[in-house]
């Protein structure tokens, strides 16, 4: 996992194995913030403005993936647990 912190967003690049193990891709409660880009798998939870449509769809209940991250190994585990 590689975290690249920018002024307005943070990129988190991940391998296929990391996405399976950490984000539960293809499983129950799969993280909704996993995207496939030209760079491979990325977590866009903290990538504004791309994340706004995901947050909106999660609130509306219009996504199959319903996970919001914050679990063990997640790039945002510490940050999200501090706010809960």
Q: What is the pLDDT of residues 14-67, one digit of tens each?
A: 999 999 999 999 887 899 999 998 889 999 999 888 899 999 999 999 999 999
pLDDT at 69 over 80: yes
Q: Alpha helices of the chain — where are they, by DSSP H?
A: 16-23, 50-60, 77-83
- Contact residues for 53 (Cβ-Cβ < 8 A; gap 6+): none
What pLDDT is stored for residue 48 in this prediction? Answer: 86
Cis? peptide before 49, omega within 30° of 0: yes
Which of helix, strand or coil describes residue 83? helix
Average pLDDT over residues 71-84: 76
Give the start-to-end residue ranges of the domains of the chain: 2-83
Which of helix, strand or coil describes residue 59? helix
């Amino acid at each position: 996992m590689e975290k690249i912190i920018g002024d307005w967003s943070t990129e988190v690049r991940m391998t296929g194995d990391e996405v399976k193990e950490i984000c539960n891709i293809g499983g129950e409660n799969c993280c909704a913030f996993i995207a496939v880009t030209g760079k491979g798998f990325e977590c866009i939870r903290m990538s504004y403005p791309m994340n706004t449509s995901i947050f909106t769809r999660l609130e509306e209940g219009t996504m199959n993936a319903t996970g919001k991250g914050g679990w063990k190994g997640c790039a945002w585990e510490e940050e999200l647990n501090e706010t809960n």
